[in-house]
Structures are given as C-alpha cells and as structure tokens.
Amino acid sequence: MNIWKISLSNIFHKPLYAFLSVLSLSISIGLLLSIQQLDTSIQNQFENSLGDVDMVLGAKGSPLQLVLASVLHMDNPTGNISLTEAEKITKNPLIKNAVPISYGDNYKGFRILGTNKEFADLYEAEFAEGEEVNQSMEVILGSTVAEETGLKIGDTFMSSHGLTENTVEVHKHPLTVVGVYKPTYKVIDKLIVTPLESIWDVHVHRKEHQDEEHTEKHHGDVQGAAHHEEEHEREITSMLVSFRNAMGTLTMPRRINKETSMQAALPRYELERLFNFTGIGVRAISWIAYIILAISCITIFISLFKMIQERAFDLALMRTYGASNFQLIRIVAYEGFLLVLIALVTGALLSQVGLHLAFSAFKHGYNQDILLKFPCVQMVKTVVLILIIVTIAIVLAILPILKMNVSKILSNAK
Amino acid sequence: MIQTQNLSFQYSPTLETLRFPDINLGRKENLLVLGKSGIGKTTLLHLMAGLLKPKSGAVTVEGIELQELSVRKRDRFTGQHIGMVFQKNYAIRSLNLLENLEARLYFSEVKVKKEQSHNLLEQLGLTAQKFKKVNQLSEGQLQRLTIALAVVHQPKVILADEPTSSLDDVNCELVMRLLLEQAAQQKANLIVITHDTRIKPLFQNIITL
C-alpha cells in the first residue's frame, strides 16, 4: 500500500468523473497547443518561402500583391516589366544575385514559372530524379506537382494560359518533364519550373495571333529594345533580388520606387504587415482556448473540491490511522496531477492529430505541403502556464484538508 | 493502558463545559461508558483518541500524555496505539477489504505479517469478501470490517463508539463477542461507549455519565 495506489484507486473508483475532467482539460490544452503550433508553422512556412529573397522588383501596384504573387505564388502578378530594364538595376554591386521570373501559364492549376537555374538555389531545392533543363520547353516539377499530377520524367503536357486552371485557352506547345525536385516544404514544391525562353516562346506565338495583348507594358523597354532587337519583347513578371548586406535593403527600394517605372517591395516587411492582420484571428482563437482552459481549471477545481468533501470522512479516517496532512495532500494532489498529466498527453496528441488533418486539408486546398514546426520554447511556456493554473486550482481545492476538523467530520458521519 | 485526569471540554465559550470522570485502566482491563444521547459520550471518546484538545486535564496512553506531543507525533502515536470503531461503519470506499487493512497499516507505519491480516479476516468471517469494495458489503460485513480495521495494527487501546446500537440482539452479541475476543487477543483495553444497556452484563467496569 502506498499513496499512489490510493490516488489511483480513487481515480478508478469514479471513472466517468475522471474521464470528463480529463476530456475538458485535454480539449483546451489541445486547442492551445495546436493554435500555437499552427501559427508558428504558418509563419515559418511564409518565412521559409522567402528563401533568400530580400527584395522583389516588379511592375507598379500593390507591394503586398507583388510579394504574394512573386514570392509566395499566391496572387496575380501586378504586371510585367522589361528584363533589360530590370537587369540594369540589378547590376548594382550591392546585389548578390537577381533571379528573373516570368509567369503566364499553368498546368492543372500549378503555375508554370519561367526562370533561370539560380531559382532552385534560392530554395535549396535538390533533384529527386532527372536533371537540369537544357533548352526551352523543358520543365522541372516541384514535388507536390509531381505527386498530384502523376507526371514522370519524359512525359509531355500542354499548358493552359493564365494562372488558374482552364481548358479553354490551351497552348499548342508541349512541355517535356526532365526533372523532379525533392520536397522542400517551400513554394517551389508547387511550381513547374522552366527556362524563361519557354514562356517567351509560347507567348511569342500567341502574340502573332493576338497582338494587342501585353502591349500596354511596352513603354518601359523602348531604350533596351533599340540595342537588342531580338530582346524587344523580353518581359518578365518580376526579379527576385538578394542583397550582399543590409545596406541594399535600406537604399535600393527607395531609389527604385522614386526613379523608375518599376516598384521594389520588401517581402519581409510586407509579410509582417500581413501577419499583423491575420494575427488578430490567431489571438482571438488563443483567447477562446484560454477561456476553455480557465473553465476546465475551474472544472478540475470543482471536481477535486467536491471529491475532498465527499471523501472528508475517508480523509478523516486516514488521519485517525496516523496519516499526516502531507500524506492526505499528496493523495489528492497526485490524483489531480495525474488527471492533468493524462490531459496534457491526450491534449498534445489531439493537437498533433488535428494539425495533421488540417494540414492535409490545406495541402489539397493550396497544393502546398507545410512542414509542421514545433515551437519548443512557446510550447514549454504554455505547458508551464497550464501547470501553474492547474496547480493553483489543485492547491485551492486541497486547502480545506489543512483545516479539517477530524472529530467533527467523524461525529457528523452519515 | 489508558488514564484520564480531570478531563473537561467546551465546544465554544457560550456552551456549558463538559466534565468527565477519571478513567484508569490497567493492562487488559475493559470499560463500558454508559450515558444518554447528547451527554458527551463521543466527545469523551474523541478526547481519549486525541482528536479533540481538552479544556483541562490529561489523557495518558501507554504512559505518554497525548497533549504533550506535537500534532504530527500525536497523530502517529494514536494511529499506532489506538484502534477506533465508529458509530457508523466506515472504511475507505475506493479500496477493497484487504487494501483497507493495508492502508490502515501503511498510515500507522505498523508492520504486520500478511497471514495475520488474512487470519483476522477469517476470524471475522470476511475471507470471501477480501477483494470486494466497501460498497459491495452488507451492513453486518461492514461492521465486522470496521472491527478488523480497529485491531489489525495491534493497538493497546480499542475505542468503540456505539458499536451495537443499530444492531439486533443476535448481531449485537456477535459484534461484542468479536470485540472482546480481539481485545483479549491483542492484550488491549477495550472501551465501549454506548447507550445500549444490553451489553452491560459483559463488563465489570462500568461508568455512567
């Protein structure tokens, strides 16, 4: 016989009671933990997707839209810019490298991104199979694209115009898969990467039929066109720029926005602004979770308090057996903390299961695999907070034991 | 051995002070305390068990004066040397019979061989119930369990509060026989406090409050 055995048999004596206490507590713990993990994972996902990109150079418009389109590949681009013009700016010694990207088409909703070989380096993407593209009309698939479309190396497919899935405007030029990237949990997973030339080639042909398209964007590259006749039509959506040092971040965007017809957006700054909006939602859900936590602490307090009252006679009896107050407190505290511990474990499991389900749903919705990020420090803080609150509830419930009048309880026994 | 001297007790300053006659029991001596309801029988019992602090006077068990001990030491001392049979039959509800005996021994830190607990249950006719929870027992079985709990740790004094008042004649006799038997076996003093005059013939020492 020992204290643990008594605590355990107390729990099993009223299994429904114990189950309900554990249930309400684990739901709130699970909710709290998942919200934090979700928040961290999504922020991490966004930051991850930024890769090495410090600045985006693109057509004028909303900077947030430019960042969303060019870095997170979520929104429509603001327009096109001239490659020559962009390259002029990116020759600056402050710039480490500048990767041009160009949009236009999709395949089954996956964006086809014209760019150069440096694009993959921004996301540290490695080949799962296949090799680099060597010529126009060859593509490399991101891991999600390969998984979802079932395309393999050597397969060919037709892209359709625009950034959303449609079957009306299908290009007549087949693209050939030459490589597949390993999963990176970054945006490149949901992209089809091809040389810039592919996009140009496809759209040059289009232009022969529909000359009016894109002409409004031409005024920017008149000078460039004079020198490079063959590059006359070479436009890109944007240029992803990484700087050598912070100096670039400080000076370049302002100059570009002031002196050119293009705009420079800073992804980190724009996303921070975005999080300030979305953070409200996260905070609201967190508050709800805290309220549930408070309620379940009250539940634990009430159930322990009731239990102590119901067992007052048992506890008084143990005192006449020679038990110390400390032993009685241990019996009740072990019982409370054991329930809390079970709730913590099941709550954590619940949050993991829930998040995996949520993320697989997210994967279907957004074609993006998110790496579950475990925010250790924050989790530990939350768990410690939960333990403190629960401890207060348990201590409050236990207090009456200290003031217990053994004689009175025994003589009033029913 | 248990002695009381000039014991008095007052529940609150506005209430009358209860005064109790001195008790002095040598080894193996038993005592019956008779008295009407509300006269302070249970109070006397709780004073002797160290559960209440007397207004004046002293209780000495095995040569130790209870009020001279600290609360913790007194609990331990009375836990080890006194066994109590309560007015209502009581045991720890979440434990089975055997576990109740084990818990009793655990808290009073008394080591008793396993066979002794089993023997005791057998003597009280509870062997078949030893793995049953308390709420699965009949009234009579519960009564016998309380007796087992009062004697399993081999106390020097057994204090019984109205052990027979709710029993019929047959069970009354059975319970008293068991109590006296156990007290004799343990060489303990048995003090029964009751208004039940049926058991008067079983005692030589009788005090009426």
Residue A10 neighbours by CB distance under 10 Å: 23
Q: What is the pLDDT of residue A167?
A: 65
Verify that A225 and A374 share a domain, yes or no: no
- Measured between CA atoms, how close is B110 to chain A, in angstroms? 10
Q: What is the pLDDT of residue A213?
A: 44
CB contacts of A407 in chain B (<8 Å) are 46, 51-52
Mean of the per-residue pLDDT values of chain B: 90
Q: Evaluate whether A95 touches A248 at the Cβ level (below 8 Å).
A: yes
> In angstroms, rounded to a whole number, what is the distance separating the alpha carbons of residues A134 and A144?
23
Q: Could you tell me which residues are beta bridge partners of residue A242?
A: A97
A410 and B46 within 8 Å at the Cβ level: the answer is yes
Verify that A256 and A113 share a domain, yes or no: yes
- CATH code at position B125: 3.40.50.300
Verify that A245 and A283 share a domain, yes or no: no
Closest residue in chain A to residue B51, using alpha carbons only: A407
* Phi, psi (rounded to 5 degrees) for A170: -95, 135
Q: What is the C-alpha end-to-end distance of chain B, expressed in Å?
A: 21
Verify that A260 and A296 share a domain, yes or no: no
Q: State which residues form the domain around B38.
A: 2-208
- Taking only the tens place, the pLDDT of each residue in A269-284 is 888 888 787 777 777 8
Number of domains in chain A: 2
Verify that A89 and A71 share a domain, yes or no: yes
Strands A81-82, A235-236: pairing is antiparallel
Q: Please report which confidence band the pLDDT of residue A231 belongs to, taking 50, 70 and 90 as the band edges.
A: very low
B79 and A13 within 8 Å at the Cβ level: the answer is no
Q: What is the pLDDT of residue A209?
A: 54
Which residues in A301-310 are b (16+ Cβ under 10 Å) and which e?
bebbbebbee
DSSP state of A155: -
Q: DSSP for A77-108?
A: ----EEHHHHHHHTTSTTEEEEEEEEEEEEET
Q: What is the pLDDT of residue A214?
A: 45
Q: Please report which confidence band the pLDDT of residue A207 belongs to, taking 50, 70 and 90 as the band edges.
A: low
Q: Please report which confidence band the pLDDT of residue A185 belongs to, taking 50, 70 and 90 as the band edges.
A: confident
pLDDT exceeds 90 at position A368: no
Verify that A113 and A245 share a domain, yes or no: yes
Q: Is B44 on the interface with A (CB under 8 A)?
A: no
- More confident of the two residues A345 and A411: A345
CB contacts of B76 in chain A (<8 Å) are 322, 324
Q: Evaluate whether B111 touches B98 at the Cβ level (below 8 Å).
A: no
- Reference B30, options B167, B166, B168, B163; nearest CA is B163
Q: Is B78 on the interface with A (CB under 8 A)?
A: yes
Closest residue in chain A to residue B47, using alpha carbons only: A407
In A, what residues contact B, Cβ < 8 A? 1-2, 5-6, 9-10, 12-13, 311, 313-314, 317-324, 327, 406-407, 410-411, 413-414
Which of A12, A313, A411 has its CB closest to that of B42?
A411
Q: Please report which confidence band the pLDDT of residue A224 belongs to, taking 50, 70 and 90 as the band edges.
A: very low
Mean of the per-residue pLDDT values of chain A: 82
Q: How far is CA A260 from the centre of its chain?
A: 34
Q: State which residues form the domain around A195.
A: 55-265
A410 and B52 within 8 Å at the Cβ level: the answer is no
Q: Please report which confidence band the pLDDT of residue B157 belongs to, taking 50, 70 and 90 as the band edges.
A: very high
Mutate to test the interface with A, among B44, B71, B85, B93 (most CBs of A within 10 A): B93
Closest residue in chain A to residue B76, using alpha carbons only: A322
B78 and A320 within 8 Å at the Cβ level: the answer is yes
Which uninterrupted H or E stretch holds A181?
Answer: strand A170-181
- Measured between CA atoms, how close is B148 to chain A, in angstroms? 13
CB contacts of B105 in chain A (<8 Å) are 1
Q: Could you tell me which residues are beta bridge partners of residue A111?
A: A106, A191
Q: What is the pLDDT of residue A220?
A: 41
Closest residue in chain B to residue A10, using alpha carbons only: B94
- Taking only the tens place, the pLDDT of each residue in B109-152 is 988 888 888 988 998 889 999 899 988 988 888 888 999 999 99
Q: What is the pLDDT of residue A302?
A: 80
Q: What would the mean pLDDT of A337-366 be, rounded to a whole number?
A: 85
> In angstroms, rounded to a whole number, what is the distance separating the alpha carbons of residues B74 and B152?
19
Which ranges of A214-324 does DSSP label H, i.e. alpha helix?
A: 222-227, 246-259, 267-310, 312-321
Q: Which residues contact A400 (CB under 8 A, 6 or more apart)?
A: A305, A308, A309
Verify that A258 and A278 share a domain, yes or no: no
Which of A9, A320, A407 has its CB closest to that of B79?
A320
CB contacts of B102 in chain A (<8 Å) are 1
Verify that A173 and A307 share a domain, yes or no: no
Verify that A154 and A200 share a domain, yes or no: yes
Which uninterrupted H or E stretch holds A112?
Answer: strand A110-115
- Taking only the tens place, the pLDDT of each residue in A58-72 is 999 899 899 888 888
A1 and B86 within 8 Å at the Cβ level: the answer is no
Mutate to test the interface with B, among A13, A321, A406, A408 (most CBs of B within 10 A): A321
Question: pLDDT above 90 covers what percent of chain B?
Answer: 56
Q: What is the pLDDT of residue A122?
A: 85
- Reference A372, options A126, A143, A49, A40; nearest CA is A40
Number of domains in chain B: 1
Q: What would the mean pLDDT of A246-260 be, rounded to a whole number?
A: 86
β-sheet with B31-34: strand ranges across:
B82-85, B157-161, B189-194, B31-34, B206-208
Verify that A37 and A84 share a domain, yes or no: no
Please identify, among A212, A245, A265, the residue that sits at the C-terminal boundary of a domain. A265
Verify that A340 and A305 share a domain, yes or no: yes
Q: What is the pLDDT of residue B158?
A: 95
Verify that A278 and A256 share a domain, yes or no: no
Which of B46, B104, B133 has its CB closest to that of A407?
B46
